[in-house]
Amino acid sequence: MCNSRLIQKYNVPGPRYTSYPTVPYWDAPGFSADQWKQHSLNTFRQSNLEEGISLYIHLPYCESMCTFCGCHKRITTRHEVEAPYIETLLAEWKLYCDLFEETPVIKEIHLGGGTPTFFSPENLKRLIDGIFEHAIRAANWEFSFEGHPNNTTYDHLKALRSVGFTRVSYGVQDYSPKVQKAINRIQPYDRVKKATELARELGYESISHDLVYGLPFQTEADIIETINKTIPLMPDRIAFYSYAHVPWIKGNGQRGFKDEDLPKGELKRQLYETGKTLLQELGYKEIGMDHFAQTDDALYKAMTGGRLHRNFMGYTPSKTSLMIGLGASSISDSWTAFAQNEKNIDTYMAMVKQGEIPVYRGHILTSEDLVIRKHILNLMCRLHTSWENDDLNFEDLPNTLVRLSEMEEDGLLEIGKHDIRISEKGRPFIRNICMAFDMRLRRSKPDTQLFSMTI
């Protein structure tokens, strides 16, 4: 249990580190689409046959606005938008396939949103079939999608299962009617139950429920009720996220309630600790930050086997050096460079129609960036990092250790001769520990409103 002194001391705005450098500190002026194409091609040549590649496909449409959501989306009930968007995704993929010169081997696909199940089963199947007109599956592929329990049908699940999908993640958030009303996500338990049971019947190997703590009006009793309702369904994974309140970035989408309606500080952390205790009593194991899994799930096995990886899709059981993001606002990662697609859907579609890979900003990693990226990835996935090998040393390391010394005094970590190990007490402060390594953040005089609070 975090004590109140530590929460008050370390609860500051900070990144979630799905990348390093984090997006606000990318060197956008030093980036070009031609550079991105060269970096992605270089990584493809080095890793395609050995690792395979990952695809993140952003499907941005939703029929209604959830006021807790920070994703890039467009609200509409006009389903005629589906076919042109699918055509554009496939055209964008063909641009990459032409660049790569040989057949891509796809290890991971993740459909995110928005609401992927806004799209019809037929269009989703058409999308995946179209992807594999120019690609092959890796031997150990993992394809997953984000399902909205209110509109994920048997036909959605069957269509995606038929093209190789084995994992589905359902956005549950919280079962309290008051909380659901505040976040405009009215979602009865029976619909979650039905969607979960249908996925199991169709042979999905891993089912995840996404829960969120820190939502407006949420109480400890709400967390207990939500997890108690989850128990009979026993999802293989549970993502237990902190609500990231950043209305100054996401605009009116996060203004469906007042700031004073949100649990904060020690109260918010208590919600997490209560949920964590209940999940661990059920046999779930904590994975990195904000994730739990049963011991027979691939994510837990990856953690214990030292293969756990983290990228813009979250935690994954294995690493691919190249992740291509398709769709408006998607982010791609070649390990040595990042690139983000145009966010505006109409502009994105126009760029693809003109034969352009539709990136509009990105970052080419420096040698220092690459070293720090490895340290932050180690801390986020393994709670440990080392600089025993010279290739993980960097100029500011002595100052970084000085910055971490107070955290060591607080019992959050142990600093060895050549390594750092985060303690169980330090788990809630992983983001703060990573911030000590973040040279881009330290040099920038950051605007604190860029990030949500770390605790």
Q: Is the peptide bond before 84 cis (omega within 30 degrees of 0)?
A: no
Binding site per annotation, positions for [4Fe-4S] cluster: 62, 66, 69
Of 137, 229, 141, 156, the closest CA to residue 199 belongs to 156
Q: Are 294 and 282 in contact (CB under 8 A)?
A: no
Place of tokens 């959501």: 69
Tokens of 149: 């329990």
CA 108/CA 328 separation, integer angstroms: 19
Residue ranges of the binding site: 56, 62, 66, 68-70, 113-115, 146, 173, 185, 210, 244, 331
Query: What is the sign, positive or negative, of the torsion defined by CA atoms of 416, 419, 424, 427?
Result: positive
Going by DSSP bridges, is the β-strand pair 413-415/419-422 parallel, antiparallel, or unpaired?
A: antiparallel
Alpha helices in 67-145 (DSSP H): 82-100, 121-131
Within 13 Å and on the Cβ side, how many CA atoms surround 275?
A: 32
SS3 378: helix
269 close to 7: Cβ distance less than 8 angstroms:
yes
In which residue are the tokens 């911030």 written?
A: 435
Q: For the residues of 268-318, what is the DSSP string, one character each?
A: HHHHHHHHHHHHHHTT-EEETTTEEE-TTSHHHHHHHTT--EEETTEEESS
Q: Write out the binding residues for S-adenosyl-L-methionine.
A: 56, 68-70, 113-115, 146, 173, 185, 210, 244, 331
DSSP H helices in 172-230: 177-182, 189-201, 220-230
